[in-house]
Structure 1
Amino acid sequence: MLTIRPTLRKVTSLLLHLNAPQRAHSTSVSADELSHFSSLASSWWDPMGPFRVLHLMNPLRHDFIAS
């Protein structure tokens, strides 16, 4: 099984960087979306959590994409 924690750390770091106050130009990331998905982050990678169905679908998705 893939280790997902390093990927989660990279994504979290990227999102925090995108939302940094020193960013001078505009972004397509809204504060509401960032807040929403940040609140999901703690349970997103839990294979027994609320997104369990998505985890169960991953082998099928992988085979479909690979074919």
Structure 2
Amino acid sequence: MGQAQNLQLQVTVQEAEEANSPGHINATNQSTISQPRTFMQLLRMTIFTLFVLSGQSAAILLGRFYYDKGGS
């Protein structure tokens, strides 16, 4: 029973050391830094999509207006 507890303690210590390692801290910082960058990319894509859709709608409306006038 003592060996099992000792092994569990060693595993717990190793997990704690890995969590406090510099590589783990950098990975955590990178994920928090990339959140505003991801938001800005999403915002740009949304604005671009709105421009594309509004341009297509305007083209359809102008085309219908032009062809409706020509046929009358």
Short-chain TM bin: 0.3 to 0.5
TM-score by length of 1: 0.34
TM-score by length of 2: 0.32
* Larger RCO: 1 or 2 (CA < 8 Å, sep 6+): 1
Question: Which of structures 1 and 2 has the bigger CA Rg?
Answer: 2
